[in-house]
Amino acid sequence: MTKHFKTKRKLRHDIIIKYLIILLISYIVIKLCIILLFNSSILNYLFKHNKIKEYKEYVSNNTINKPSQLLSYEIKDYNEQVMYYKINNKSIVYIYNTHQTEAYQKGKTVLDAAHLLKEGLAKYNIQTYVEKTNITEFMRTNNISYNYSYYASKFFVQDAIKNYKPNLIIDLHRDAISKDASTITINNKKYAKIMFVVGEEHKNYKENYALATQINNLIKKKYSSLTRGVLLKGGKNNNGIYNQDLARNIILIELGGNYNTFEEVSNTINLLSEIIGEYLHG
């Protein structure tokens, strides 16, 4: 009887130990799930790097018209950044449009705005290159979806950095907001408002943020109502990089919105050319 009682007691003890181990393992698993669920930086890192690797393989295998840097493209550590300064006392700007078909009223696009900005900067002795390649057609030809626009334009930016060594790189966009939000009147003349966008999901985003802030402050000093400020973007459903991981001297500008006329955009470009000239010639 005593022996039988001891056997039953040992059995209960073993069951308790077993359930304690199961509870401990369950706790650890749940804890890890919670950490991964709420630590978006880990998930974003894994997601983005997997997507970039998949994209590199896809484009390398399927692209017809390859930029010269395409096959040698590598996923570099974000610390590998280059800052370009004035060359022979003549500033160089490279302008491209990741979304070249973004249009204003009556059909003019951000690509038209890029060429107009080039003309404006020439007045300040700034040599400017506007991306000639039809990025939209490049994506269509190679069956690259709109969601991969920045990964497509990245290759052209890499080429520009290698070939032109620009002091400033501008990705020119237009926003999709109401006319009231995108327009300001200064001295009885209407202007399309400006906003800077900085991706915060790469290690050196603070340098890009400092650059955008510096130019934004120059605008505020002379034309305070012209700028909508500097927007930091990251997290779910946002790119968070915008090619700004390639160098510290890259800015993304939202110039006006879809309801702005090209005359309002042109008025702003006159002022923006002046500000960029002041920044580069300091």
Interval 89-125: pLDDT, tens = 568 999 999 999 999 999 999 999 999 999 999 999 9
Q: Is residue 54 a part of any domain in this protein?
A: no
At residue 160, does pLDDT exceed 90?
Answer: yes
Q: Are residues 34 and 73 in the same domain?
A: no
Is there a single domain that holds both residue 18 and residue 132? no
Does 76 or 139 have the greater pLDDT score? 139
- The reply to whether 209 and 277 lie within a common domain is yes
Is 63 among the domain residues? Answer: no
Structural domain for 29, as ranges: 2-38
Give which of 194, 201, 193 is closest to 232, Cα–Cα.
201
Is 59 part of any domain?
no
Highest mean predicted confidence (pLDDT) among 33-47, 89-103, 191-205, 260-274: 260-274
- pLDDT band for position 39 (cuts 50, 70, 90): low
Give the pLDDT mean for 221-232. Answer: 94
Token pair for 168: 């400033």
The rounded distance, in Å, linking the Cα atoms of 94 and 132 is: 11
Integer Rg of the chain from CA: 26
Which residue, among 39, 130, 127, has the nearest Cα to 88 in the 3D structure? 127
**Total structural domains in the chain?**
2
If you average pLDDT over each of 146-150, 230-234, 261-265, which comes out highest?
261-265
Please check whether residue 98 is in contact with residue 153, taking contact to mean a CB–CB distance below 8 angstroms: yes
Say which residues have a Cβ less than 8 Å from residue 243's Cβ, sequence separation at least 6: 98, 150, 153, 154, 157, 171, 250
Q: Of 86, 83, 94, nearest to 210 (Cα)? A: 83
| pLDDT bucket at 30, cuts 50 / 70 / 90 | confident
Residues in the chain: 282
- Residue 56 lies inside a defined structural domain of this protein: no
CATH number of domain containing 98? 3.40.630.40
State the DSSP code for 90.
B
Mean pLDDT, rounded, for 214-242 = 90
Residue 204 and residue 253 in one domain: yes
Q: Are residues 13 and 93 in the same domain?
A: no
Percent of the chain with pLDDT over 90: 54
* Stretch 171-185: mean pLDDT: 95
Do 123 and 261 fall into the same domain? Answer: yes
β-strand pairing of 194-199 with 250-257? antiparallel
Instruction: Check residues 148 and 52 and name the one with the higher pLDDT.
Output: 148
Q: Is 256 left (phi over 0), alpha (psi -120 to 50) or beta?
A: left
pLDDT of residue 240: 84
Could you tell me if 8 and 2 are in contact, meaning their C-beta atoms sit under 8 angstroms apart? no
On whether both 31 and 117 belong to a single domain, the answer is no
* Distance from C-alpha of 198 to C-alpha of 207, rounded to nearest angstrom: 10
Contact 75, 151 (CB under 8 A): no
Q: Which residues, 6+ apart, have CB-to-CB distance to 185 below 8 Å?
A: 191
Tokens of 6: 């001891």
26 phi, psi to nearest 5 deg:
-60, -40
Same domain, 234 and 144: yes
